[in-house]
Structure formats: structure tokens, C-alpha cells
Amino acid sequence: MSDNCIFCKIVSGAVPSTKIYEDNDVIAFNDIRPSASVHFLIVPKLHIDSLASCENEHQALLGKMLLLAPKLAKQQGLAGFKTLINTGVEGGQEVFHIHVHVMGGGDKSRNN
Ligand code: AMP
Ligand code: ZN
């Protein structure tokens, strides 16, 4: 848990979200500003700033997040989807708690 991290607050339940999945390690919820008809985020419960902060010890967690993407996408009715991990300010990252975007079902105007 990192103070003032919006995704840690979602993980703890202090901030509400539209949760679509949860287990011991990860949570997935709909993006509050979707850029596609279906747009959710896969987020580890462990606070890690970004992909650039990951170490070998996070390998299994990263694999778990990626393997969840097609399963949750299918549950959300998607036949195909895009994944995105923004990394660093210059990589467009706004929330510094690592997350995988999963998007599909037709773009909205915002280009994430
Ligand atoms: P990124 O630019 O990769 O850091 O993306 C952060 C994403 O988190 C953006 O697409 C935001 O719309 C989304 N986001 C920020 N706050 C919330 C929230 N409280 N609930 C759901 N999604 C959020
Ligand atoms: Zn966090």
C-alpha cells in the first residue's frame, strides 16, 4: 500500500471501482475514462510504480496479469483486444501503480 496512490485505494476498497475480477494477487476494473467500448485495467494488489520498476521477483505476477487479459476480455464479450502498459511520464503513464490496459469493441475518441 502506497499512500496517495489511487489504485492502492481501489485495491483497499477506500475508492470505489467497477470491479470485474479479483483474486489474491490482482484486481481488474473498468477504466473511468474509457477509450474503447470495453476498457478495463488489470492491476496487481502489490504497489509497483511501473514496468520499469519490476524485478525478477515480479515475473510470475506480470505473467499472471497478461494471462488474465484474454480470459477477462472474453468474459467482457471481446473477440479481440488491445493491451497497453504505459511506462514513465514520457510513456504516457498517469497513475504510477503498474497496470495493463485492455481495450476492445470499438474505439472512442481518446487515444490512450
Ligand atoms: P495510464 O496513463 O496508463 O497511467 O492510465 C491510467 C488510467 O487510469 C487512465 O486511463 C485513467 O482513466 C484511469 N483511472 C484513473 N483513475 C481511475 C479510477 N479512479 N477508476 C478507474 N480508472 C481510473
Ligand atoms: Zn499503488
Q: Which residues of 70-91 are buried (b: 16+ CB within 10 A; e: fewer)?
A: eebbeebebeebbebbbbeeee
Per-residue pLDDT reduced to its tens digit, 65-78 = 999 999 999 999 99
Tens digits of residue pLDDT in 15-74? 999 999 999 999 999 999 999 999 999 999 999 999 999 999 999 999 999 999 999 999
Active-site pick, 39, 58, 97, 99: 99
In the sheet where 100-107 sits, what is the strand order?
Answer: 19-22, 26-30, 36-44, 100-107, 82-84
Task: Say if residue 106's pLDDT is above 90.
Answer: no
- The vertex-32 CA angle with 22 and 54, nearest 5°, equals 55
Domain 6-111: assigned CATH number: 3.30.428.10
- Phi-psi region at 87: left, alpha or beta (left = phi > 0; alpha = psi -120 to 50): beta
Closest atom of ligand 1 to 31 CA is 22
User: Apex CA 32: angle with CA 29 and CA 33, to 5°?
Assistant: 130
The whole-angstrom separation of Cα 78 and Cα 61 is 23
Which is the closest atom of ligand 1 to the Cα of 33? 12
d(CA 68, CA 4): 27
Q: What is the pLDDT of residue 107?
A: 76
Determine whether 99 is an active site residue: yes
